Amino acid sequence: MISGRELAYGLVGAWRLIRNDPGGVQYFDRSPSGALRSFWAMALVAPAFAVLLMMGLHKVGVDQIGLRQVLLGGGIYVINWLLFPVMLLRLAPKLGREQEVATYIAANNWAQILIAAVSLFLGAVAATMPKSIGEMLDLALLALIALMQYRLLRHAMALNPPQAGLLVFAYLCLDIAASLALFGLLVPGKLAA
């Protein structure tokens, strides 16, 4: 279980890194066990993910959610949380950043709580707006996530701008692929329409 203190420090550290303050790394337990404990954020964000998934399914005309949707959504959710960190664990030795991966994982996991809050807010606003404005808000959220990831990678892993930029691109590609796979499995044929 995660302590309230570690949660608070994680959120403060993530907020500082997102605001481009490299001092935010001091708030994380940068050990491998600290990185593993930060995955408690996945449990904290799960309800927000469920709400966002229901909102997304409602947008494409699915109003009833059954066991199949819950299991597929949960599976993709877990895969999406683990895919990029596993990729970074494989890339870190090539970048000479093995020691910094645990810091990035902790920072990213705690930052996901902040992103989930912003996503819920923008999703609620978009639901009350015309479709074109909702799509612009989706793009704004994507740009915000890209900026957040860039700053996390730059400060938590001490990467240079081109390295961080390429990894942000990889992160976004994996995230978009996971979302498309989820909606493709949940509502076959609806995304093409």
pLDDT value at residue 193: 47
> For the segment 19-64, what is each residue's pLDDT rounded down to a tens digit?
999 999 999 999 999 999 999 999 999 999 989 888 877 777 777 7
Measure Cα distances from 16 to 71, 99, 128 in Å.
35, 21, 31
Residue that the structure tokens 């819950």 belong to: 70
Per-residue confidence at 73, pLDDT binned at 50, 70, 90?
confident
**Structure tokens given for 142:** 């994507």
Average pLDDT, integer, range 173-193: 75
Report the pLDDT value the prediction gives residue 68, as an integer from 0 to 100.
79
pTM of the predicted structure, to 2 decimals: 0.88
Q: Residue holding tokens 């479709």?
A: 131
Q: Taking each helix axis as running N to C, give the angle between helix 40-59 and helix 101-127, from 0 to 180 degrees, rounded to the nearest 10.
A: 30
Higher pLDDT among residues 3 and 62, named by residue? 3
Distance CA 10, CA 61 (A): 37
Q: Is the pLDDT of residue 114 over 80?
A: yes
Residue 100's pLDDT is what? Answer: 94
Domain boundaries, the chain: 4-186
What is the 8-class DSSP label of residue 31? Answer: S
DSSP secondary structure, the chain, as one string:
---HHHHHHHHHHHHHHHTT-GGGGGGS--SHHHHHHTTHHHHHHHHHHHHHHHHHHHHTT-----HHHHHHHHHHHHHHHHHHHHHHHHHHHHHT-GGGHHHHHHHHHHHHHHHHHHHHHHHHHHHTS-HHHHHHHHHHHHHHHHHHHHHHHHHHS---HHHHHHHHHHHHHHHHHHHHHHHHHHSTTTTT-
Are 140 and 122 contacting, i.e. CB atoms less than 8 angstroms apart? yes
DSSP summary character for residue 97: -
Identity at 64, one-letter amino acid code? Q
Nearest to residue 47, comparing CAs of 120, 110, 103, 98?
120
Share of the chain above pLDDT 90, in %: 65
Q: How high is the pLDDT of residue 104?
A: 95
pLDDT, tens digit, for every residue of 8-19? 999 999 999 999
Mean pLDDT in residue range 109-121 = 94
